[in-house]
Amino acid sequence: MAGGSNQAHGLVDGLRQVCHDIRQPIAGVLALAGAALCEADLPEDTRRRLNQIVGLAEWQSDVIDHLLWAPEAGPSTMGQTDVLAVVTEAIAAQRSTWAGDLILLWPPAPLYVGLPRVTLRRMAANLLANATRAAGPAGRVTVEVAPRAAQMLLAVEDNGPGFGRLPPGLGLGLSAVARAAIEHGGRLECGHGRLGGARVSLWLPTAEPGGRTADATRGL
């Protein structure tokens, strides 16, 4: 047992060292993009692309910081994460590299979950990446965010070929999302959607005021 524990700690330390080393080139990307944005007479399309690069680099920086400093004792449930804000950011990033039809359906009221913002962003990005690759460059993807009793539903559908008929590699990321969902008291469900392709549903407990996680059994 001691040997296994030492090996696990060694892997974690190695991962943190790699993340630490990656921070410097990301900082360089942000600095270069920032300098370019200060240039006079910059074409609007170029400015928009540079802002997208800055947004993606800042997100990667947040992911690395989370991996470097997240407590080893388990997932954090501190504070509240605004679901719509995070999903909107993930959709904007996906639209920068995908030209298909992407529709977002959301509730009129704010919706929060009690897990780190960066964790939810990674989960949403994985679901979107799989859906857009399955749908193809001219396909369609719908993203639905809705409250269900004491849970949050994030459902992503595409009009691709569906589960079991996808090219190799399109399922990457779903297992990581499923593990993260379980760690935070939720679950991931995969099935067939109304668009003819796959429907992947992420369920997570909602957060009540003050950052407390709602009782998922209440109201059922």
Q: What CATH number has the domain bearing residue 198? A: 3.30.565.10
pLDDT of residue 125: 86
Same domain, 116 and 64: no
DSSP summary character for residue 112:
E
For 105-160, the pLDDT digits (tens) are: 998 889 999 988 888 988 898 899 889 988 998 999 999 999 998 999 999 999 98
Q: Which amino acid is located at 160 in the chain?
A: G
Same domain, 98 and 58: no
Query: How many domains does the chain fold into?
Result: 2
Structural domain contains residue 219? no
Same domain, 186 and 86: yes
Query: In the predicted model, what is the mean pLDDT of residues 202-214?
Result: 73
Question: 111 Cβ partners below 8 Å, 6+ apart?
Answer: 82, 83, 84, 145, 147, 152, 206
Average pLDDT, the chain: 77
Identify which of 81, 84, 182, 208 has the alpha carbon closest to the alpha carbon of residue 218.
208
Higher pLDDT, 168 or 181: 181
Encoded tokens for 161: 């070929």
Strand partners, 190: 200
Q: Is the pLDDT of residue 74 over 80?
A: no
Higher pLDDT, 57 or 220: 57
Structural domain contains residue 214? no
User: How far, CA to CA in Å, does 149 sit from each of 80, 176, 219?
Assistant: 18, 25, 6
Which domain-ending residue is among 48, 69, 90? Answer: 69
Same domain, 44 and 93: no
Structural domain contains residue 213? no
Q: Which of 53-57, 69-73, 178-182 has the highest mean pLDDT?
A: 178-182
